[in-house]
Amino acid sequence: MDKKVVITGASKGIGKALAIRFALEGYRVAVCSRDENNLKTLEEEIKTMGAKQPLFYGVCNVGKRDDIIGFYYAVKKEFGPIDILVNNAGIFLPGQIMDEEEGVFEEVMSVNVASAYHFTRLFAKDMIERKSGHIFNMCSIASIKAYPNGGSYCISKFALLGMTKVLREEMEEYNIKVTAVLPGATYTDSWSGSGLPEERFIPAEDVANTIFQISQLSPRTNVEEILMRPQLGDI
């Protein structure tokens, strides 16, 4: 098997869990993040776990289009066409529309929405030529349920879900699957200081395992949306 997957924002949390799962299943995995130290740590972890293929990584600020383009060409040179793209990169900055600092909206939209738009426009070109591929966009419960202090984050996740629906319609004729992933509170570093017990959250590995299993379905089936919540409800 020479299957290839690209995962953005993959140095921790769901992205890291995804990189590990796909690597251990024999995929060639390419990841990016702003933190090179975390990427090196992930590379070593995957190697220690016995992955057959080395991790390919690039330092990339997904809020900058030039960084996205540079990472794309590095992956294309190393891998050629890819089979799966997971637009996972994202940030959460709390606040309300009326009191957020200037620039928060632009930053959050750039990382959470524009990056997925630009990565997709680049990597999907080869998918269209091959008439094969799968794109996962990491949306959120916040894509369908606004909440106080969600501000620009909620706006961005609503927008990403909308973009995913548009993309699905456009890619259908090329036999390219498009899936929106809507996880609720998932235990990652961003929740580590919340004071809530780990048992109250979705494990990042559960999200990664679900995405992997869906990626293995026959070409005749597309799971359009994955909605996941903690068993005890939203936080």
Active site amino acids: 153
DSSP 8-state assignment for residue 25: T
By the 10 Å C-beta count (0-12 exposed, 13-18 middle, 19+ buried), 1 is classed as exposed
> Beta strand pairing status for 202-203 and 186-187?
parallel
Backbone dihedral angles phi then psi of residue 63, each to the nearest 5 degrees: -80, -5
**CA separation for the pair 216, 228 (Å, rounded):** 19
- Taking the alpha carbons of 206, 179, 110, 127 in that order, is the dihedral positive or negative? positive
Residue with tokens 């996740």: 157
Tokens representing residue 92 in the block: 């959460």
